[in-house]
Amino acid sequence: MNKNYHPFSALLFLIILNFSCNKEVINPANYSKNMIILGSGGGFTGAVSQYYLLENGLVFRSGNTDTTFTEVGKFEKDIASQLFESYQTLNFDKQVLDEPGNRYYFMVHKGNGQEHKLQWGYKELANKAPEIFHKNFMAMVKKLETSTANSSK
């Protein structure tokens, strides 16, 4: 018998291999729970950028030329919950707003097999709530991006 071989080595290797192969990577493409997507697009280039907030707090970014999602960071659970609750409390899911302009902004809520989208930019909004929610969310995401970038250095 080989002196360097331990009978449990193979078992340990198989267990590690099993865990590493079964781990599902979570991203907006395969996420089935509630998700809020905010973004903007248009202008001279027509480029679109979007940020995805998953119910578990993870935030991802993508653009219209991206085929992948980039993880921005993760909001604390209470912050993510507050954003989803605010979306419902402000009745965005019951509003109809489809007025994109050359430069436009949008919010999408996905959940329970349904999708609801608000988009604006054509003219100034009478109800400022979607615009304020969008600006506040984007400010929080920029802060999250900065703190994630600083902590990875």
CA distances from 98 to 91, 105, 106 (A): 16, 10, 9
Q: Which of 31-35, 44-48, 81-85 has the lowest mean pLDDT?
A: 44-48
Nearest Cα to 130, choosing from 97, 81, 100? 97
Q: Is a pLDDT exceeding 60 seen at residue 21?
A: no
**Where are any strands of DSSP class E within 19-136?**
35-42, 48-54, 58-63, 70-74, 98-99, 103-111, 114-120
Label residue 118 by pLDDT band (50, 70, 90): very high
Nearest Cα to 141, choosing from 29, 58, 41? 58
Residue range 29-151, CATH number: 3.30.1560.10
Domain ranges of the chain: 29-151
Compute the average pLDDT of residues 75-87: 95
Q: Is a pLDDT exceeding 90 seen at residue 3?
A: no
Q: Is a pLDDT exceeding 70 seen at residue 104?
A: yes
pLDDT of residue 18: 54
Question: What is the value of pTM for the model shown?
Answer: 0.79
pLDDT of residue 71: 92
Compute the average pLDDT of residues 23-33: 82
